[in-house]
Structure 1
């Protein structure tokens, strides 16, 4: 049942996960919301693994980002409930695994000096090779050590987008399939720009750096081994690969490098080859899966890796620069945007 509202109006430019969750949070807070979106082609959230954990995407020195991720991850269960689940959640835990002694030492260093500062010790369990294969038997015998991180789950990014869109309809959020080239052209009491890499064109004072990332979607067939029950985050001879469960298979990711141009969203053969090689090294049975999609997106990154969530002027707000952490940081972004709207 669609809700009719009579409060102030908010225009949200951008219909990805960030714009979508902010629009729904504002509608829940009593705003009349209109979303302006020019389609899925440029959305970073269309090409994503959907991990909700705080550990795998953080690096030493990013303490503020870690803390923000912890805060936001804690908000996700209520949002999943708000969206009616709809098969959004695909895993509850993550396995961090290593294939060499050097990889194992890297994980131990991260666990001792970085991860232990962010999550309680009882959520991080060291595991030997036999223990790892006991819970995920399809993993390679090359896996020699790792950690089980409970609560480091994942969502299906595309089901999440669909669920947000459905919730918008029920909450009275109006969608407009159109491109906005000037914030001044939008009629609303307040305007939120959440347009990813399209944000600087609308707000020239907002500086973002594009980072291209490739992912693969592999579908299980009748000859395939089962889908992992957990997110698998592997360290393979010094570099990283993740396998994220989906109802029909796994998402494999992800590369990250500077694109040739802002619209460079074609997956490159080298990136696809590297991902496939690392994924099948960790889970050999993936060789029997069907390669359903090779995709690439442009992540909008800020200079300090922290999202830009602020008021630009009396009428305009921005939520951008989430980089590789858009989905995990979506709830805390929505909370801050609603707070700014009320200020």
Structure 2
């Protein structure tokens, strides 16, 4: 079945981030694309709906492997290309990442710096981190002036608005003639072979019945409207228990998160997690005290045993793409290009560069 022929008929299961990216790219290539999604067009059931959408390969190297970091570095310019092709605006920023810590957490910050330095030695194309004293922190981010004695700046890192992107991809699917069936869950075996040349399974945790190794890793995120806060870039607060991130979006909207719980529990956020997120945000900027809580959301990221993404062909006409874990937005352009190579040539030259598992018949 691989490589695909021109003008193939392709069914995609799942219209989260990967499902939408693949649907748009395949439709642009002239294929006939049909999508089945268990939820509605607002992507409420997708991990991408809740994510902060930070594009921070060096910062994330503290918790992931070099291959994922390379995917994140590859994705930064690729995101600009992909967003540039969309008719709807999507907030994209590349102002770097600021790392801060309180004096009592200086030891934890040193360990964090050591890990990032190791990553830079392995991946020299990453822009080197910059150590900042108090005056340099204040000059880079005046909103936190006089609050922190030291910091780290990771130039070149970025972020985007996850919900604007998902909405823009929905519009693009419509413009390109993709036939989407919302609120219509399907399994691969529901698709009659004669109705599709290929089935792409991008259902995240929805694919657990057919990919038993998948597990959920729960995240809890607060969205705030804080007109008194003017952070200019994603900011991370080093802490031994809850290394928090604050991602400023447009119009004084902030996405704040930190928690990672080994669970597929989708119930509302706990009081403890919410208090930790809000108190840590207040410690970065007192203006958060007067912020308005717009949403406290939870979601579970689809994760494989090694915490790495994978692509596998389980039947002649079924290809599964899954396991993006907490790095969905950071690595999805790289995953998109790997999958497109597999579909067009039957193999991927990019996959070894990313240490990505691609299992084909």
Structure 1 unaligned blocks of 5 or more: 1-5
Partner of 2:220: 214
Judge which range, 164-173 or 83-92, deviates more.
Answer: 83-92
Match of 1:282 in 2: 284
Offset at residue 332 of structure 1 (A) = 1.3
| 1:198 maps to 2:206 | yes
Give the counterpart of 1:72 among 71, 75, 86.
Answer: 75
Counterpart residue number, 2:301: 299
TM superposition score normalised by structure 2? 0.85
Matches within 5 A, 1:149-188: 149-186=154-191, 187-188=195-196
Residue pairs, 1:186-265, within 5 angstroms: 186=191, 187-201=195-209, 203=210, 205-221=211-227, 224-226=228-230, 228-236=231-239, 239-248=242-251, 249-259=253-263, 262=264, 264-265=266-267
CA change 1:229–1:305 in 2 (3 A) is same
Alpha-carbon RMSD: 2.1
CA shift for structure 1 position 122 = 4.7
User: Partner residue of 2:34?
Assistant: 34
- Mapped to 2, the partners of 1:104 and 1:58 lie a distance apart of 14
Q: Which residues in structure 2 correspond to 1:136-151 (within 5 Å)? A: 136-139=141-144, 141-151=146-156
Query: What does the per-residue CA deviation read over 1:274-296, in whole Å, with 9 as the maximum and x for residues that have no partner?
Result: 11111111122211211111000
The offset of 1:314, in angstroms, is 1.3
Separation in structure 2 between the aligned mates of residue 295 and residue 61 of structure 1, nearest angstrom = 24
| Partner SS, residue 158 of structure 2 | strand
Query: Which digits, 9 at most, give the CA deviation of each residue in 1:4-30, with x for residues without a partner?
Result: xx8111111111111111111111222
Aligned residues: 331
Q: Is the 8 A contact 2:13 2:186 kept in 1?
A: no
CA contact (8 A) 1:83 1:163 kept: yes
Name whichever of 97-106 and 170-179 sits farther off.
Answer: 97-106
Change (3 A) 1:239 1:144: farther
User: For the Cα contact (< 8 Å) 1:71–1:332, is it kept in 2?
Assistant: yes
In the TM superposition, what whole-angstrom CA distance separates every residue of 1:207-246 from its partner, at most 9, and x where no partner exists? 211111000001024xx232x1111112135541111011
For residues 172 and 199 of structure 1, do their structure 2 counterparts lie closer, same or farther at Cα, with a shift above 3 Å needed?
Answer: same
Structure 2 vs 1, CA of residues 287 and 298 (structure 1 numbering), >3 Å: closer, same or farther? same
For 1:312 and 1:196, how far apart are their aligned partners in 2? 16
Q: Provide TM-score, normalisation by structure 1.
A: 0.90
Partner of residue 3, structure 1: none
| Equivalent residue, structure 1, for 2:14 | 14
Structure 2: which 5+ runs fail to align? 1-5, 347-361
Once the two structures are TM-superposed, the CA of residue 190 in structure 1 deviates from its matched residue by: 0.7
Aligned residue in 2 for 1:336: 338
The secondary structure found in structure 1 opposite 2:131 is: strand
Following TM superposition, by how much is the alpha carbon of 1:74 offset from its aligned partner in structure 2, in angstroms? 3.7
CA drift at 1:298: 0.6
